[in-house]
C-alpha cells in the first residue's frame, strides 16, 4: 500500500473527498454571505438561522403536509427567501447607511429570536429527516464507501454555486448588481431600481442558506442550533476569501473543506480551530483576503 506521511494513500483520498463534500456546504453558505455583504455591506449574522429555517421548513413540510424532499428543495428556499425579503424591507432598510456594526447586531438579534423560539417549540435534540428513497445506498469506490447522498450534495452545491457565479458575472442582472455594489447612487440615477435590487439580493442570499439547510437535513440532525455553530466558520471562510468576492467565497469554501479534512487525519483535536489559524495567516499576508480588493 502506498503511504503518504505515514497514512495509506487510499485513506487520504477518502478524507480529501469528504473534505470536498464539507467544502461544498461551506461554499454554498459563504456564497450567500458574500453576495449579501457585497451589495448591502451587512454581515448577515442571521445566515445560520436561515440555514436552520431551510432544514426545518423541509422537515415540517414532510411531517405535516407530506411535501417530499425534491419539492422542499425548491419551496424551502423560496419561503425563506421571502422571509428574508420581508426582513430587508422592514428592518434592514431602516439602518441602511449606518455603521456596518448595526447590521451585524440587528441580524444577530434576529438570529437569537428565531433560534430561541425554535428551541422553545421543538427542543434541542432535533428531529430526523429521512433519506430520500432515490438517494439511499452508496458506491464502493474501492478506497471508501461513498454514500450516494453525499455525492449528490457536492453536485447540487457546485451547480448552484457555479450558476450563481455565472448569473452575477456574466448576465445583465449581475452587471447591475456589481455596479450597484460599486456605486448605488449612480445606478439609481440610471433608472435602476436599486432598493428592489437590494431586497432581491438579500432574499437570494437567504434562499441559498435555506437551500444548504435542506441539503443538510437528511445527514445532520435538524435542530434549532444547527446553524449557530456553523456560522462562525462560514464567516471565517468569507473573510479568508475576501469579503464580497463571489469567486473567493466558492474557492475558499472548497479549499477550507479540504484543509479541515486533512486536519481531521493528522491533528483531529484542532479540526475546529484550523480555519481560524488559516484566517490569521491569510490576513497577515493579504489584509483584504485572498480574492479581496484592498479598500
Footprint of another protein on 18-57 (CB under 8 A): 18-19, 21-22, 43
Residue 13 found at the interface with another protein (CB under 8 A): no
Residue 209 found at the interface with another protein (CB under 8 A): no
**Nearer Cβ to another protein (77/261):** 261
> What's the min distance (Å) between Cβ of 217 and another protein?
11
CA torsion through residues 236, 237, 242, 246, sign: negative
> What's the min distance (Å) between Cβ of 130 and another protein?
7
According to CB under 8 A, which residues from 94 to 133 bind another protein? Answer: 94-95, 98, 100-102, 105-106, 108-117, 119-120, 123-128, 130-131
**Nearer Cβ to another protein (196/287):** 287
What CA–CA distance (Å, rounded) separates 35 from 214? 20
**Nearer Cβ to another protein (41/178):** 41
> What's the min distance (Å) between Cβ of 148 and another protein?
9
**Nearer Cβ to another protein (109/163):** 109
Residue 295 found at the interface with another protein (CB under 8 A): yes
**Nearer Cβ to another protein (15/201):** 15
**Nearer Cβ to another protein (102/165):** 102
Residue 273: what are its φ and ψ, rounded to 5°?
-100, -25
> What's the min distance (Å) between Cβ of 170 and another protein?
28
**Nearer Cβ to another protein (147/187):** 147
Number of residues that bind another protein (CB under 8 A): 76
Of 57, 58, 51, nearest in space to 28 by CA = 51
> What's the min distance (Å) between Cβ of 160 and another protein?
20
8 A C-beta contact, residue 243 and residue 292: yes
C-alpha 286, offset from chain centre: 23
According to CB under 8 A, which residues from 242 to 271 bind another protein? Answer: 243, 261, 264-265, 268-271
Interface with another protein by CB under 8 A: which range of 51-59, 154-162, 174-182, 225-233?
A: 225-233
8 A C-beta contact, residue 226 and residue 55: yes
According to CB under 8 A, which residues from 129 to 188 bind another protein? Answer: 130-131, 138, 144-145, 147, 149-150
Amino acid at each position: 500500500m502506498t503511504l503518504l506521511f505515514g497514512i495509506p494513500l487510499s485513506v487520504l483520498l477518502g478524507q480529501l473527498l469528504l473534505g470536498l463534500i464539507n467544502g461544498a456546504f461551506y461554499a454554498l453558505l459563504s456564497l450567500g454571505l458574500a453576495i449579501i455583504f457585497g451589495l448591502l455591506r451587512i454581515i448577515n449574522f442571521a445566515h445560520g438561522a436561515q440555514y436552520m429555517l431551510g432544514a426545518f421548513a423541509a422537515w415540517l413540510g414532510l411531517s405535516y403536509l407530506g411535501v417530499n424532499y425534491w419539492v422542499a428543495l425548491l419551496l424551502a428556499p423560496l419561503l425563506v427567501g421571502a422571509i428574508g425579503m420581508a426582513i430587508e424591507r422592514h428592518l434592514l432598510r431602516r439602518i441602511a447607511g449606518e455603521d456596518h456594526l448595526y447590521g451585524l447586531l440587528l441580524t444577530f438579534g434576529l438570529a437569537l429570536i428565531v433560534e430561541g423560539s425554535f428551541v422553545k417549540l421543538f427542543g434541542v435534540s432535533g428531529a430526523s429527516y429521512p433519506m430520500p428513497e432515490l438517494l439511499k445506498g452508496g458506491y464502493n469506490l474501492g478506497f471508501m464507501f461513498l454514500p450516494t447522498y453525499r455525492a449528490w450534495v457536492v453536485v447540487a452545491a457546485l451547480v448552484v454555486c457555479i450558476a450563481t457565479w455565472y448569473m452575477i458575472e456574466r448576465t445583465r442582472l449581475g452587471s447591475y448588481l456589481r455596479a450597484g455594489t460599486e456605486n448605488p447612487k449612480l445606478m439609481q440615477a440610471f433608472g435602476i431600481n436599486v432598493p428592489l435590487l437590494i431586497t432581491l439580493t438579500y432574499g437570494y442570499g437567504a434562499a441559498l442558506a435555506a437551500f444548504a439547510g435542506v441539503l443538510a437535513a437528511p445527514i445532520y440532525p435538524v435542530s434549532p442550533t444547527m446553524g449557530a455553530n456553523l456560522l462562525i466558520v462560514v464567516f471565517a471562510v468569507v473573510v479568508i476569501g475576501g469579503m464580497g468576492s463571489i469567486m473567493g467565497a466558492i474557492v475558499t469554501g472548497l479549499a477550507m473543506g479540504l484543509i479541515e479534512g486533512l486536519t481531521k487525519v493528522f491533528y483531529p483535536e484542532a479540526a475546529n480551530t484550523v480555519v481560524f489559524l488559516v484566517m490569521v495567516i491569510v490576513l497577515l499576508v493579504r489584509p483584504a483576503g485572498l480574492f479581496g480588493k484592498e479598500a
